[in-house]
Amino acid sequence: MNTRRGVGLDAAPENDILAIGNSSETTVEALLEQIKRIAAREPHARCSREEGPLGPVAAALNALSAQLSARRLKEEEAFGMRALMEQSPNSMFCCDVNARIRYINFTIPGLTVERVLGDDLFDWIAPESRENARSVTQRVLATGETGGFELKPLVEGGPEWFAARVGPIMVEDRIIGFTVILTDITDLKRTQVRLEQSNRELESFAYVASHDLQEPLRKIQTFGERLKKTSTGLSPEGHDYLERMQGAATRMRRLIDDLLAFSRVSAKGQPFTRVELATVANEVLDDLEDPIEQTGATVTLGDLPVLDADPTQMRQLLQNLVGNALKFRREETPPSVSITASVDAQRHRFTLVVADNGIGFDEKYRDRIFNVFQRLHGRGQYEGTGIGLAICRKIAERHGGVIEVRSTPDVGSSFHITLPLKQPMRR
């Protein structure tokens, strides 16, 4: 019998078994070695040849080895993932596509693993949070994108509120379930409740204070008008005093109204909806039709985007900026105003620009003009309370954006408002 050791087991590279030689003894030897390596869980153990009488056996062993290697890899990945989840400080759930809980690293106080495994995840979520949780989860399963929501669990003695991040579980490009990572936000929610209560109290106080302040102002104006009509013998100086008194009362009422508008930007803001900015801009221009005609102004609109916003506040923002452009104009020069926008698709943001050819100002004041009651010109030159731009900044901040200005004296100003196109769900 001619045994060719040179092409048998001794000459094989590591983890590579020459399965079939010219003698059945070598072939059996190779197959036995292959079985030993599979039993020892050696990676990539295989027969390099699948010919000869025992070729089908070698092929079957190779297939078995490949299956075991793939299974072992999945086990190692699962072990690593489980170790990562168990070390996480957050509660983490793994659910199937039917929202059945299949794994949890540790439960929130008041629950046990045995109690929740196999349950519908939404059965442990309070009714007021359940609908939004289902909606977000269904969107994750449908699109493969991550999502988030806030939830109140149906458990006593533990955290009252969680923020949940939901992500898909993928196997070979197929979604087989989802993960939920919970973060305790109970303290944050309690602070939010206290803040909302404080805002309601502040709003109530502001309303009462404004009513109490405006009532005597109305009387001052009313009696001033009566004095004008009845005091025919009043001297020119006396008439001047009456005019000043009524002018001061009018300015005070306007100041109170503007302060209320400033306080309501956050406290009384409407929910964000999809807003066509072009429609809002045209409505603002309709409202300002008289001053536009009186000043001989030209207003041009560029392509404006659709965004998530408070429509009333977007209108107020544009009205304040365009109104300022008409007010702070140069003598003998008709105002020219442009409203344009540029979209940054990668950052999902856009920049709205309101530019004019007005009087402009020194840019060393560019931060100051956004503060309440800050004016760069005397009241005798231009009317106003100095609150309009402060309201604009507060509106931009409420929408997760910023407002900046560039200006040159006797050339004009341009206000740049950068805002997100879409708002987070919590807003």
What HEC string does 125-175 produce?
A: ECHHHHHHHHHHHHHHHHHCCCEEEEECECCCCCCCCEEEEEEEEEECCEE
pLDDT of 12-35, one tens digit each? 333 443 333 344 433 556 656 656
Query: Whole-angstrom Cα distance, residue 412 to residue 418?
Result: 20
Listed in sequence order, the residues at least 6 apart from 119 whose beta carbon sits closer than 8 Å to its beta carbon are 100, 101
Listed in sequence order, the residues at least 6 apart from 352 whose beta carbon sits closer than 8 Å to its beta carbon are 277, 304, 339, 340, 341, 416, 417, 418, 419
pLDDT of 277-296, one tens digit each? 999 999 999 989 999 999 99
Give the pLDDT of residue 222: 85
Residue pair 317/281 in contact by the 8 Å Cβ criterion:
no
| 91: helix, strand or coil | strand
Give the pLDDT of residue 142: 93
Query: Whole-angstrom Cα distance, residue 128 to residue 119?
Result: 19
> Nearest 5°: phi and psi at 67?
-65, -45
Return the residue matching tokens 């010219």.
22
- Long-range Cβ contact pairs of 174-178 (< 8 A, separation 24 or more): 175/97, 175/141, 175/144, 176/96, 176/97, 177/94, 177/95, 177/96, 177/97, 177/102, 178/94, 178/95, 178/97, 178/137, 178/140, 178/141
Give the residues of the chain that fall short of pLDDT 70: 1-62, 64-89, 106-110, 264, 266-269, 373-385, 425-427
Query: Whole-angstrom Cα distance, residue 117 to residue 95?
Result: 9
> If you count them, how many residues does the chain have?
427
Give the pLDDT of residue 243: 83
CA 253 to the chain's CA centroid: 38
DSSP letters of 161-221? -EEEEEEEEEETTEEEEEEEEEEE-HHHHHHHHHHHHHHHHHHHHHHHHHHHHHHHHHHHH
| 300: helix, strand or coil | strand
Query: Whole-angstrom Cα distance, residue 12 to residue 6?
Result: 9
Query: Whole-angstrom Cα distance, residue 173 to residue 180?
Result: 19
Domain boundaries 88-184, CATH class: alpha beta
Give the pLDDT of residue 217: 81
Task: Give the helix/strand (H/E) hosting 398.
Answer: helix 388-398
